[in-house]
Amino acid sequence: MSIDWAALKAAIEVAQRIVLTSHVRPDCDALGSELGMAALLRQMGKEVTIVNDSETPTHLEFIDPAKEIKQLGKDISREEILNGFDAFMVVDTSAWIQLGEMADVMKEFRGVKLVLDHHVSQDDLGGEMFKDPKCEATGRLVYEAAKAWEMTITKETATVLFTAIATDTGWFRFPSVSGSTYRAIGDLIDAGAVPSDVYGNLFENERLQRVNLRGRILASAKIILDGRLAYSMATQKDFEETGATPSDTEDAINKTMAVTGVEAAILFVELPNGDGVKASFRSRSALDVAKLAQQFGGGGHVAAAGALVKKPLGEVVSMLLEATERAMDQYAS
């Protein structure tokens, strides 16, 4: 790992009350990293509160049985954060747009600001950056912090970190996985994580609304560019008629990547209240989707990235498909 863990620990030690946050519409890596880091900070004697812009998705609530994670504006106000904490730590993102309203809170915050992340793209968040883009998950970074600081990994911490790493590696099938990934996972299992329980919570505990939405997304899938590019979408009508939510689209894009000959895929999700369109990109080719997403204010990894575009769905689809086709035309398949 390329992170200076001693420097991060030194930066943390000057603070006593720390607020942790992550990106909007948090996934398991965001939630698991927050919960795992909170546990480590408490071992250091710190008071920790986790606050996100978005509520925890219903299908991921199992990761936080104590309901420790708060939502800004619902469970805690921006004034309470600005006046009640002396350190502000972001995990699993380095982009302003990904923080939602927590971005404004961070900009106003006058204490220590820290960022722990593994994404390639980044903004200047005005804090000290601790980053390793070669790492497969931010949850893995939290695990490495625990090892470097010689801290105890409890069963609860092992479980959330296992969940973070397992999901951000596509259950260990993505190219980011290495031998060291499995060695870290082995440690977490020895510490109490139970893979079958995590898998059951993630993939064998589906709401019917989520299943129905997944069916619509797959039914609307199309392939273009001689079968090299797949795309699909989830519209407001889909959400209204199935009773599903935008968080129920998680991982649906990976199903489109299973089509023979597909080298890249995009999933367009029309958000409620005119909040724009969330675009998720995947690639298993020379296409760098992080660079593609950056053109639209997003970011991520070479093979997986996302962007939020505040324009109508039809306009976003045309604009992003055109940009993706241009990028794919620049390399030979």
Which tens digit of pLDDT belongs to each residue from 52-90? Answer: 999 999 889 999 999 999 999 999 999 999 999 999 999
Report the amino acid identity of residue 109.
F
Pick from 47, 52, 49: nearest CA to 22: 52
Rounded CA separation 57/246 (Å) = 9
Q: With CA atoms as reference, report the closest residue to 185 among 169, 201, 200.
A: 169
Single-letter code of the amino acid located at 289? V
Residue of 111, 119, 113, 126 lying closest to 94 (CA atoms):
119
Phi-psi region of 74 (alpha: psi -120 to 50; beta: other; left: phi over 0): alpha
Q: Write out the residue limits of the CATH 3.90.1640.10 domain(s) in the chain.
A: 5-204
Give CATH for domain 209-332.
3.10.310.30
CA distances from 275 to 112, 236, 271, 272 (A): 31, 11, 5, 6
Please check the confidence at residue 247 and state whether its pLDDT lies above 80: yes
CA nearest 53: which of 74, 32, 67?
A: 74
pLDDT at 151 over 70: yes
SS3 at position 273: helix
Please give the CATH topology (third level) of the domain spanning 5-204.
inorganic pyrophosphatase (n-terminal core) (3.90.1640)
Question: What is the rounded CA–CA span in Å between residue 37 and residue 23?
Answer: 15
Sequence ranges of the chain with CATH classification 3.10.310.30: 209-332
Average pLDDT over residues 35-60: 96
pLDDT of the residue at 332: 55
The span from the CA of 136 to the CA of 35, in Å, is: 18
